[in-house]
Amino acid sequence: MKRKNIFLIIFLLAVVAFSLLAGGLLTTQKPASVDSSCPAQEGLESPVVEHEQMPEKTPVTTQISLPEAEQPEKLETSEEPTAQKEPTLTPASEAPAREELTCTLSVRCDDVLLHMDKLAEEKQSIIPDNGIMFPEQTVSFSEGESVFDVLLRELKNSKIHLEFVNNPMYNSAYIEGIGNLYEFDCGDTSGWMYKVNGIEPRYGCSQYKLKNGDKIEFFYRCSMFN
């Protein structure tokens, strides 16, 4: 028992001594501090410590990709840009053609054939056998033209004589003679008259504005009372 206690004491003393020895060694290994205020001894150069320049750190950009489920939703607006429609131009070749205006025209003096005794002998040769000076034809006219305009143009084209006067009182043209057959040639009340669609207008032929499809008839009447 005493022997064990002696060994224990020796072991503890050895541990303490080892600890003291280790502490002394560590103290003696510390570098001595240098007083920078002391002048350097002649012949001794102060050690120059070069500091290596650390390379600059390049900033690292980290991109974080969010899952599709976490992506911010784009705001959807109900308003959609309205596209401006450019005016559609219709080429002249595709433009609808304007309807052609037409009418029929005829000039006759068949009533004279029934009263040849009233007509001067030298005039009888100018009367056609059938009494028709200008057979019924379909002719074209422009909007706003009158019965007189059509008569004048068509007889001129057919080289048929026409003589008329403008009556300022009625602001209209008065037909005196067609084909050298004049008023009063077949009686005191004889002369040229006209109809449109079978009706005798109560005004001059230059005042009657034509409509599409009108039927014009000029005729010689030997007596205004027939």
DSSP one-letter string for 68-94: GGGSPPPPP-S--PPPPPPPPPPPTTT
Q: Confidence band (pLDDT; 50, 70, 90) for 49?
A: very low
* Burial group, residue 63, by CB count within 10 angstroms (0-12, 13-18, 19+): exposed
How many residues belong to the chain? Answer: 226
Per-residue pLDDT, averaged over 102-110, amounts to: 98
Q: Give the strand pairing for 102-108 and 215-221.
A: parallel
**Distance from chain centroid for Cα 214:** 40
Q: Answer whether 137's CB lies under 8 Å from 155's CB.
A: no
Decide which of 220 and 87 is more confident.
220
DSSP assignment of 100-166 equals PPEEEEEEE-HHHHTTGGGS-GGGGGGS-TTSEEEEEEEEE--TT-BHHHHHHHHHHHTT--EEEEE
Among 75-79, 116-120, 221-225, the minimum mean pLDDT is found in 75-79
Under the banding of pLDDT at 50, 70 and 90, the label for residue 47 is very low
Q: Higher confidence at residue 133 or residue 94?
A: 133
Look up residue 54 and give its DSSP letter. Answer: P
| Residue pLDDT, tens place only, 57-101 | 555 454 545 455 555 555 555 555 555 666 565 555 555 667 899
d(CA 131, CA 135): 10
Q: Which of 4-18, 29-43, 106-120, 185-199 has the lowest mean pLDDT?
A: 29-43
Beta bridge partners of 108: 132, 219
Tens-place pLDDT, residues 145-177: 999 999 999 999 999 999 999 988 778 899 999
Report the mean per-residue pLDDT for the chain: 78
CB distance 118 to 186 below 8 Å: yes
Residue 183 has pLDDT above 80, yes or no: yes
172-178 and 162-167 as β-strands: parallel, antiparallel, unpaired?
Answer: antiparallel
